[in-house]
Amino acid sequence: MSHIFHRSLAQVPATAVKGEGPWLIDAAGKRYLDASGGAGVSCLGHSHPAVIAAIEAQLRRLPYTHTSFFTSEPAERLADKLVAGAPQGLTSVFFTSGGSEATETALKLARQYHVEKGEPQRRHFIARLQSYHGNSLGALSVGGNMARRALYEPILLPNVSHIEPCYVYRNRRPDETEEAYGLRAADALEAEIRRLGPESVAAFIMEPVVGASLGAAPAVAGYLKRIRAICDRHGVLLILDEVMCGMGRTGHLYACAEDGVVPDLLTTAKGLGAGYQPIGAVLIHERIRQVMAAGSGAFQHGFTYVGHAAACAGALAVQEVFEREGLIERVQVLGRRLRDGLQERFGNHHHVGDIRGRGLFVGLELVEDRASKRPFDPARRINGRLKATALEEGLLCYPSGGTVDGKAGDHVLLAPPYICSESEIDLTVERLGTALDRVLA
Ligand SMILES: Cc1ncc(COP(=O)(O)O)c(C=O)c1O
């Protein structure tokens, strides 16, 4: 009997014993192609020698120091690198151990910034439905993934409201262009800020490309620029959650580069450490740093493992590998191949309503009926069965439900490692096709 409190108490998962590039191998010797990087994490596969060597070397030199006593060289160098590649204006970094901590940090920074600026009445956060920002209580409070929230609803923060996401496949009206739809969707933020009273709103948080809750649904062109303008008009901070979609996943180091928008706070994790160490970060706009430097001069927040030296050394090596191996450009090339392959295999599939995404961050929305976009009855558990069947076929993908309204709807997310070969991308499409056909048979 396992003494781990596993995610499912009914079943102990297979034991993974080894990683080889994009492949995982279990104790029985079965090989799985990891086409989702777990949950969008392992962007360099599972055995990159340069990242492992950097962590090993750092562990020998100095594994950890507490940031109330010291800074460390890998943390400083990683922050330099992240800022150098970031949208102009993001000038400092607060490290965390993952995505939820990054969300908590961004929410608290937004609050402290407004207080120090002399606007302590700003206490509301606005977020979007069908979004996910983490599982700690603050992060879950802003999240709009109703299935993940439901049990905890009575203990979540009260000062959070949600608007509709930018979900072009379902929410665009037939008489609207994509761009017109995007502007209309963004204007929901203006309406919500006015409803709450603009002087009471602290920040708006969203994923530029929605991952787990919507299956790689990107904002349409113009949406984020309109959101930025609305936030600016009302003194509301814009937090972009790039925990899943950032760090090269969309073919840009930061996903928002494609939208031409600079947030006030940007969270990142997953691909930052690529799974070699747990790490996340919040990038902070100079404007915020200056207000706080001139105010109390200290952030009222922190975690024990902030700026962990070995984690930072690993993440620094990940950044260096991106550059040395030209991997962000490679994501664009492989992403096109993946999209083309999926289009060819599923473009006319009766149960695939939409194929979407950016770079190597791609989602398929599954429907009962393609013409009406009617979702499957949730009782059929399509997404759960697809995950299990794909595993049997030797493929890791990331299916989820509640796509349409938090209850109905199914999608599958693909987030293959950037180091995949062309043939591994093709194999991903092939195995997903086999698994989907089996589930729907
Ligand atoms: C967009 C987004 N934000 C935040 C998180 C939370 O990150 P973590 O699980 O590392 O706490 C996730 C995790 O899936 C995510 O996808």
pLDDT in tens, 14-35: 999 999 999 999 999 999 999 9
pLDDT in tens, 261-297: 999 999 999 999 999 999 999 999 999 999 999 999 9
> What pLDDT does residue 52 have?
98
Cα separations (Å) of 418 from 50, 107, 222, 428?
15, 31, 28, 13
Above pLDDT 90, what percent of the chain?
100
Residue 244 alpha carbon to ligand 1 centre in Å: 7
pLDDT, mean of residues 243-255: 98
> What pLDDT does residue 28 have?
98
Q: Band of the pLDDT at 385, cuts 50, 70, 90?
A: very high
Residue 165 alpha carbon to ligand 1 centre in Å: 17
Mutating to test ligand 1, I would choose from 132, 206, 210 the residue with most ligand atoms within 8 A of its C-beta, which is: 132
Q: For the chain, what are the domain ranges?
A: 16-48+325-440, 52-324
pLDDT in tens, 66-112: 999 999 999 999 999 999 999 999 999 999 999 999 999 999 999 99
CA–CA gap between residue 63 and residue 55 (Å, rounded): 9
Cα separations (Å) of 1 from 7, 11, 139?
15, 11, 33
Letter for the amino acid at 62? L
Q: Quick one: which atom of ligand 1 is closest to the CA of 212?
A: 16
Same fold, 16-48+325-440 and 52-324: no
For domain 52-324, say whether CATH 3.40.640.10 is its number. Answer: yes
Q: Band of the pLDDT at 1, cuts 50, 70, 90?
A: confident
Closest Cα to atom 7, ligand 1: which residue? 99
**Domain at 16-48+325-440, CATH from 3.20.20.70, 1.10.760.10, 3.40.630.40, 3.90.1150.10:** 3.90.1150.10
Q: Band of the pLDDT at 204, cuts 50, 70, 90?
A: very high
Pocket around ligand 1 at a 6 A CB cut-off: 39, 98-100, 103, 132-134, 207, 211-212, 241, 243-244, 269
